[in-house]
Structure 1
Amino acid sequence: MYRVSLLPLLALAAPLPALAQQAAPPPPSDGPDIVVLGQPLPVPPGVPAYGSVTISRDRLTGDASGRVEDVLLDVAGFQQFRRADSRSANPSAQGVTLRALGGNASSRALVLLDGVPLADPFFGYIPFNAIAADRLGGVRVTRGGGAGAFGAGAVAGTIELVSAARRDLPLLAGEAFYGSNNAQEVSASVSPNVGGGFVSLSGKFERGDGYYTTPDSQITAASVRARYRDWSGGMRAVVPLDAATEIQARGLLYRDTRTLRFAGADSSSQANDASVRLIHRGAWAIDALAYVQTRNFTNRVISATTAKLTLDQRNTPATGLGGKIELRPPVGADHVLRVGVDARLGDGTLYEDAYAASGLVTTRRTAGGKTSTLGAFVEDDWTLGRLVLTAGVRGDRWTITRGFFREANAAGSVTTQARYGDRHGFEGTGRAGALFHASDAIALRTAAYTGFRLPTLNELYRPFVVFPITTQANAALGLERLRGVEGGIDLTPVAGVTLGVTAFYNRLDGAIANVTIAPNLRQRQNVAAIVARGIELTGHAAHGALSLDASYAYSDSRVRASGRQAPLDGLIPAQSPRHTGSATLGWGRNGFGASATVRYVGDQFEDDLQTGLLPAVTTLDGVITLPVGHRVSLVARAENVLDATVLTRNAGGSIDLGTPRTLWIGVRLR
């Protein structure tokens, strides 16, 4: 078993609404700037031109599930590969995307934590179970291709998670919850000042007996509840070197285990991540960081007919390395110029054994390789009175190297051995936008962008089985390339009310999809394109202690294909709902609070041929907070209050279900 052994590293302005379209940069201040320790450089003024939205710390810590991936559903167009969260999904399926560009389990959106890419270097999934909501200060989501740092992974957009700053962190904090199906959650942190900076140590543990993801009609003697158990420990230190410079260091260690559908169908993921970041806020602003990630994944496949082990993906060690240097030279008060370079390297190897019904190993397989990107970027935001112009370009040299596949029989004799030729190339991408503040109540914006994504090592080299479907890897996969345009308007009709409307057109050429090539057999292939066009709406209203936040996305996505893939032409991509919506009504005063969240996901299909329907579903969540002492509150949470049936998978009639009604009671110390 692979073991981790190292200990592991946006400025959001004053408190933001729970979900608000940012239509304008903050107003200038007549006094000196106040630097809050632990934050990155200020967000450039042109970011809102790309339809940027933010989620506040209060919203992140106030969801019924307590999970970051569920809060991100507040953002119009956000989705994971499947509807399941990180308690009942296979970890390798937790890729994220935006704008219904099709699901294939790898992330098409770039997810950053304090500037560090979070995607697993082998699979491309996001380890959401390792992200504690109460350790975050906020989230910024920017849709569309990216040209800034690490933009090579931002095909569908960028999701920037920002750690809580000094002002957000009490000396001691903690919470403990007990929920349905014998579920327990415990987290705690201590954040003392040290010298002129601070250190924050945190830990989280959760477990649950889970629920039957299998419908009653499909339960067999081998069926079990979706048990889960995970823990994480983190450290973040912020050390000021002088009045304008600080070092931010982070470490994260986590382990997660889950059981899905059948006894023995266990998966695990574990990691050790560390990063260090230098922030300098002088005339020549600097943002430099370096990170290392060591990850592993295991997965055991149980036969639905014999209830015996058929495949043991026993070890998938992977390493990610990377870093960036970004400079902001002083080029005048009207410009924010960003120049930088970044690099990402990933390597990993899959070790798996196939078993016969007798329980003996029949085949041993090993596969893996390396990928890398080395990029340079330049971007400028130019403020001309009420008009902000923004444009950026980047160039990337990419490589896919040392790919191999080896298969041996139980005796160790090699039966198949393949080494794939190294590949490399250069990609130029860019984006441009304009933001015009027509008045204090109206802002107009437009943007165009391109982007690309390398196939992951998982897509290139790792086959997988989710009964009754086998999906083959494809070492010949090419790059995904995006072109897109959008336009929108942001309105502030009265104080406390904001509205945003965005219309978009995106074309993803060479989209990687799981393509059916025979009954119960698929292969990862590049289709000609996925074309997505639609409308996104966001709104926020606040009056006294009441607030309402809502979003809606209409996405008309279609596959463009020809030749052997011609049957896919005009079909809706797998895992791409046409309609999604979310609304949260909240009330809070003097420590008391209550909120209700309604979410709707329209019909979507499990597969490329539109044979497995996942019906539309509406869920209702609720949270009540009751203060009972100094900085102590009782919290009641309810997920899926109406116990709606949520289908997360429908493969040939083999169905998995999402979270049923789940109730929680707990205590929170702040």
Structure 2
Amino acid sequence: MHARIARFSVIFCLCIPAPLLAQGQEEPADSLIIVTGQGLPDTPASPAYGTVEIDRESVLTVPSGRIEEALADVAGFQQFRRSDSRSSNPTAQGVTLRALGGNATSRALVTLDGVPVADPFFGYVPFAALIPEQVGRIAVTRGGGSGPFGAGALAGTIAIESLSPEMQAPLGASVLVNDRGGTEGASSFSAPLGRGFATGALRWDRGPGFYTAPGSQRVPASVPARFDSVSGQLRAVAPLSDDLELQARVLAFDDARTLRFEGAEISASGQDYSIRVVGRGRWQVDALAYVQARNFSNIVVSSSRFVPVLDQRNTPSTGLGGKIEVRPPVGDAHTLRLGVDYRRAQGELQEEPISAFTGQITARRRAGGATSDLGLFVEDDWQVGQLILTGGLRADRTTIADGFFREADANGAIVIDNRFADRSDWSLTWRAGALLRASPSLDLRAAAYSGLRLPTLNELYRPFVVFPVVTQANADLRNEELRGVEAGLDWRPLDGVELSLTAFDNRLENAIANVTLGANLRQRQNLPAIETRGIEAGLRATRGPIRFIGSLSYSDPRIEGVGASLALDGNAPPQSPRWMAAASVTYEMAENALVSLSLRHVGDQFEDDQESEVLPAFTTLGAYAQVPLVGKLDLVLRGENLFDEEIVTRVSGGALDLGAPRTLWAGVRYGF
């Protein structure tokens, strides 16, 4: 019911006619104030950290139409599983960079207009909630860092920015259908709101999906991975004065999936609210506050008897936080940033094991707690001729509190009642970098940094089963800490051609991983360290109507094992491929007419820390075509995995899960 109310409210709000929003808000031309809806500009030294930009065209022309595929154009980006947000368990959508592995929790910080979007309980990124048609730009920074919301940016930062109003049509819509009967629909509006603007968007994806089980492993209970997700948002921006603007957003989503077996139903839903004030005067200010209300449910079906064995019926969680950043006027040579930010996550798991033989509930479990992070940061960019130096410090007060795990039997009698001690700590992290404009065509850069991440409530308190493997929680987990260095160059040998190259060495201490304890038994533990070294390369070239974008990454991550983890010493962390590559070539035939091909390669990776199960490498080819029909109406054709490459996303004792096979799409798009 909670999710249905959220869906109804989103659809109702987005049905408000755009002219009604603007009614009675006209202002005389001489009082017009231009508002952008953006945050403060990037600082001069931002390029020192090797940021890669994904533009709007790249987001809209990916063959799958998913944001996660657009992000995969940056080699080194990966989710915990190789599936996208139509056929994976949402809790496996943790993102990382640089093959730093993980356990389904994000090690990269993902923000939408400055607001962290990860789930407060699990730490995954709800990609189905993010609307590609509303994205204006994505900036991906690989490597750790401090600054606002820096805690959590171990592997890097993915900053998603909304489309500016001048780039939006008053009305936009698209409808596509694929060869399996799946549909994808989106609509949007943009309208003046006094001296500001209001925008809204709705996206609805649904379909029968595909079989994730290979044909030889299907049973009568096997079903395709059905999906049905809806997401909508309203955003309003208004000036408070000549150089001060107010930004507000409401986002809601409801995401339902069926995985592998009939009855294995998963639901994720949420509502996010944020408000932001941006001042662009002499004293620049960026202040925001947000609150998230999320929920998750999951019915686990036995892979031997094909009946429900666990009902994770409810996982309510709340995230709230905010930041204030001030940039005082300290002269043209310096850009000084001072600020404070705060994040708090609170939630609990409510689940009921079910007997596979009787169908009766055998126990009732509840587990949860709260974590918080108060951060103070200072950073300065100093420009000396062609050299830009940057350095920053960040202090974090992290707290883990109110942790508990309680289990009752079928009759309600308490059999386990664990209360975990509260704990808190101060941590100091830093980053420093240098950018040298060596010539008009060559930039040299170097950086060093540290960072931290709190364990999530999921890692601390929630055990789970992916039959037959049981993974235990661990309330004693410590914060992850990263230290790293990198150096690189950006070279523009010709007009329209840019080559980037980065070498890095990152060390992640206290890395949280699912560590094997015995046959079919794992526990989340802090490993002594994961060390990863590698090379990242990128090439962008535009020649007339042809545009090429390519990226390549090689990483060599290794576990450092000591004591209980000594047997893992030298092993690669799970879900960490050495090689990743992506390339796309686009030919623009005329205005709004284009054809694009995209190639993606992911190398071998291990399923587990014992290196006993291998997920083989895969290479996929996708295509996108857009042909104008009349006015702003375009024909859109898309093709995913055109050669029908087998993508193994999970392996356990010979049982496989597969990713998306060849999928063909056709439809129309107006105004986007």
Structure 2 partner of 1:638: 639
- Alpha-carbon distance in structure 1 between the residues aligned to 2:179 and 2:518: 41
Whether the 8 Å contact between 1:490 and 1:499 is mirrored in structure 2 is yes
Structure 1 partner of 2:228: 229
Structure 1 partner of 2:300: 301
The amino acid of 1:664's aligned partner reads W
1:321 matched to 2:320? The reply is yes
Q: Deviations over 1:533-582 (max 9, x none)?
A: 00000010000010100000000000001112111100000000000000
Structure 2 partner of 1:14: none
Whether the 8 Å contact between 1:496 and 1:542 is mirrored in structure 2 is yes
Structure 2 SS opposite 1:511 = strand
1:577 matched to 2:577? The reply is yes
Structure 1 partner of 2:27: none
Deviation at 1:489, TM superposition (A): 0.8
Q: Deviations over 1:416-475 (max 9, x none)?
A: 110000010001001000000100111100000000000000001111122222211111
Structure 1 partner of 2:52: 53
The amino acid of 2:340's aligned partner reads V
- Alpha-carbon distance in structure 1 between the residues aligned to 2:367 and 2:447: 41
Structure 2 partner of 1:397: 397
Task: Name the TM-score, length of structure 2 as normaliser.
Answer: 0.95
1:159-558 correspondence to structure 2 within 5 Å: 159-356=158-355, 357-558=357-558
Structure 1 SS opposite 2:405 = strand
Structure 2 SS opposite 1:327 = strand
1:592-631 correspondence to structure 2 within 5 Å: 592-631=593-632
RMSD, matched Cα: 1.1
Deviation at 1:383, TM superposition (A): 1.1
Structure 2 partner of 1:28: none
The amino acid of 1:596's aligned partner reads L
Q: Deviations over 1:404-426 (max 9, x none)?
A: 00000000000011000001000
Deviation at 1:221, TM superposition (A): 1.1
- Alpha-carbon distance in structure 1 between the residues aligned to 2:173 and 2:470: 43
Q: Deviations over 1:64-111 (max 9, x none)?
A: 111001110011211110100000000001000010111210000010
Deviation at 1:212, TM superposition (A): 0.4
Whether the 8 Å contact between 2:513 and 2:524 is mirrored in structure 1 is yes
- Alpha-carbon distance in structure 2 between the residues aligned to 1:545 and 1:218: 47
1:661 matched to 2:662? The reply is yes
Deviation at 1:289, TM superposition (A): 0.2
The amino acid of 1:454's aligned partner reads L
Structure 1 runs of 4+ aligned residues shifted over 3 Å read 1-8
Deviation at 1:336, TM superposition (A): 0.9
Q: Deviations over 1:596-640 (max 9, x none)?
A: 000000000111111110001000000010000101100000000
Q: Which one is further off, 564-573 or 316-325?
A: 564-573
- Alpha-carbon distance in structure 2 between the residues aligned to 1:444 and 1:96: 28
Q: Deviations over 1:222-261 (max 9, x none)?
A: 1110000010121000101222111010000110000101
Structure 2 partner of 1:42: 41
Whether the 8 Å contact between 2:34 and 2:196 is mirrored in structure 1 is no
Structure 1 SS opposite 2:123 = coil
The amino acid of 1:658's aligned partner reads G
- Alpha-carbon distance in structure 2 between the residues aligned to 1:148 and 1:450: 11
* Gapped regions of structure 1 (runs ≥ 5): 9-33
Shift in CA distance, 42/35, structure 1 to aligned 2, threshold 3 Å: farther
Structure 1 SS opposite 2:72 = helix
- Alpha-carbon distance in structure 2 between the residues aligned to 1:381 and 1:57: 29
Deviation at 1:653, TM superposition (A): 1.3
- Alpha-carbon distance in structure 2 between the residues aligned to 1:632 and 1:351: 48
Structure 1 partner of 2:62: 63
Whether the 8 Å contact between 1:403 and 1:419 is mirrored in structure 2 is yes
- Alpha-carbon distance in structure 1 between the residues aligned to 2:638 and 2:34: 36
The amino acid of 1:188's aligned partner reads S
Whether the 8 Å contact between 1:41 and 1:279 is mirrored in structure 2 is yes
Structure 2 partner of 1:29: none
- Alpha-carbon distance in structure 1 between the residues aligned to 2:402 and 2:522: 25
Structure 2 SS opposite 1:527 = strand
- Alpha-carbon distance in structure 2 between the residues aligned to 1:389 and 1:212: 53
The amino acid of 2:521's aligned partner reads L
The amino acid of 1:631's aligned partner reads K
The amino acid of 2:413's aligned partner reads S
The amino acid of 1:68's aligned partner reads I
- Alpha-carbon distance in structure 2 between the residues aligned to 1:43 and 1:373: 24
Structure 2 partner of 1:18: none
- Alpha-carbon distance in structure 1 between the residues aligned to 2:564 and 2:392: 38
Identity %: 53
Structure 1 partner of 2:26: none
Deviation at 1:2, TM superposition (A): 5.1
- Alpha-carbon distance in structure 2 between the residues aligned to 1:2 and 1:62: 34
The amino acid of 2:448's aligned partner reads A
- Alpha-carbon distance in structure 2 between the residues aligned to 1:383 and 1:97: 32
- Alpha-carbon distance in structure 1 between the residues aligned to 2:653 and 2:449: 38
Deviation at 1:298, TM superposition (A): 0.4
- Alpha-carbon distance in structure 2 between the residues aligned to 1:535 and 1:194: 48
The amino acid of 2:592's aligned partner reads G
1:15-94 correspondence to structure 2 within 5 Å: 37-94=36-93
- Alpha-carbon distance in structure 1 between the residues aligned to 2:120 and 2:260: 27
Structure 2 SS opposite 1:59 = helix
The amino acid of 1:626's aligned partner reads V
The amino acid of 1:425's aligned partner reads D
Structure 1 SS opposite 2:305 = coil
Whether the 8 Å contact between 1:314 and 1:352 is mirrored in structure 2 is yes
Q: Deviations over 1:576-597 (max 9, x none)?
A: 0000000000011222100000
Deviation at 1:5, TM superposition (A): 6.2
Shift in CA distance, 298/469, structure 1 to aligned 2, threshold 3 Å: same
Deviation at 1:35, TM superposition (A): 5.8
Deviation at 1:520, TM superposition (A): 1.4
Deviation at 1:651, TM superposition (A): 1.5
Whether the 8 Å contact between 1:506 and 1:533 is mirrored in structure 2 is yes
Structure 2 partner of 1:17: none
Structure 2 SS opposite 1:449 = strand
The amino acid of 2:654's aligned partner reads G
Whether the 8 Å contact between 1:4 and 1:272 is mirrored in structure 2 is no
Whether the 8 Å contact between 1:468 and 1:652 is mirrored in structure 2 is no
The amino acid of 1:388's aligned partner reads I
- Alpha-carbon distance in structure 2 between the residues aligned to 1:610 and 1:300: 29
Whether the 8 Å contact between 1:455 and 1:477 is mirrored in structure 2 is yes
Whether the 8 Å contact between 1:107 and 1:126 is mirrored in structure 2 is yes
Structure 2 SS opposite 1:643 = coil
- Alpha-carbon distance in structure 1 between the residues aligned to 2:235 and 2:450: 35
Whether the 8 Å contact between 1:227 and 1:259 is mirrored in structure 2 is yes
Whether the 8 Å contact between 2:100 and 2:532 is mirrored in structure 1 is yes
* Gapped regions of structure 2 (runs ≥ 5): 11-32
- Alpha-carbon distance in structure 1 between the residues aligned to 2:649 and 2:110: 23
- Alpha-carbon distance in structure 1 between the residues aligned to 2:441 and 2:652: 49
Q: Which one is further off, 363-372 or 240-249?
A: 240-249
Structure 1 SS opposite 2:48 = helix
Structure 2 SS opposite 1:48 = helix
Deviation at 1:3, TM superposition (A): 5.3
Deviation at 1:4, TM superposition (A): 8.2
Structure 2 partner of 1:117: 116
Shift in CA distance, 448/296, structure 1 to aligned 2, threshold 3 Å: same
Whether the 8 Å contact between 1:258 and 1:268 is mirrored in structure 2 is yes
